[in-house]
Amino acid sequence: MSKRELIIALVITFIVVMLWITSDVYHARTQNITDQPSADILEPVDPNFDTSVLTQPSPSPLPVLTPPPSAPSPTPTFRPSPSFSTPVSSTSAQPSPLL
């Protein structure tokens, strides 16, 4: 790689990095600020683990997976391949001269 090609590659890389940084700063400044979380989210969590929840039955039972119905597989059929006839030259055929 010549010195000129190296300088061109460095200049293009510098321009791309500057555009990338500029677009990131623009995106950060124009991004909407989120609202404050509601009070029920900010409540402290009870440190005592409620084990009675583990012994309660689940509100909806797990679905039972059944295999799909088996359909009979199609019976293979024999399809004969088409027959091709070999070309036959006519009596008027002349060999072409070589160039």
Q: DSSP per residue over 20-60, as a string? A: HHHHHHHHHHHSPPPPPPPHHHHSPPPSS--THHHHSPPSS
| 78 lies in some domain | no
Instruction: Identify the burial level of 20 via C-beta atoms within 10 angstroms of its C-beta, where 0-12 means exposed, 13-18 middle and 19 or more buried.
Output: exposed
| 9 lies in some domain | yes
Element (H, E) at 17: helix 3-30
pLDDT score recorded for residue 9: 96
| 53 lies in some domain | no
Choose among 19, 17, 39: nearest CA to 27: 19
Lookup result for tokens 């950060």: 28
Domain limits for position 7: 1-29
pLDDT score recorded for residue 98: 66
Residue 86 token pair: 């070999």
pLDDT score recorded for residue 50: 80
Which DSSP symbol is given to 91?
Answer: T
**Of the segments 9-13, 29-33, 59-63, 66-70, which one has the largest average pLDDT value?**
9-13
| 50 lies in some domain | no
| 56 lies in some domain | no
Report how many domains make up the chain. 1
Higher pLDDT, 66 or 27: 27
Record the pTM.
0.35
